[in-house]
Amino acid sequence: MKFRITMKDPDGVGDCIRQAAEESLKAVAGIDDSEREELLETREAKLSEACEKWFEYKEYLCVEIDTDAGTCVVIEQE
């Protein structure tokens, strides 16, 4: 049997993207706070764009469960 579940998390996606962007910039040395903030905003935008095919409005995620195959697949947004 196959069925879909849509989950909503209004803050989770954005918070996790921000955290990932911050982590990726920890190794960048020799820049001041304003440069770091600009890089952070750019990195966040790129990560958000990369997630658009799976998350609708940056908060909805749909997965399809197949109990026969024992799988769970993220459904791309149309």
Decide if pLDDT at 27 tops 90: no
pLDDT digits (tens, 9 = 90+) for 59-68: 999 999 999 9
Tell me how many domains the chain contains. 1
Residues linked to residue 19 through DSSP beta bridges, in sequence order? none
Q: What is the pTM of this model?
A: 0.81
Range of the structural domain that residue 43 is part of: 2-74
The pLDDT of residue 55 is 95
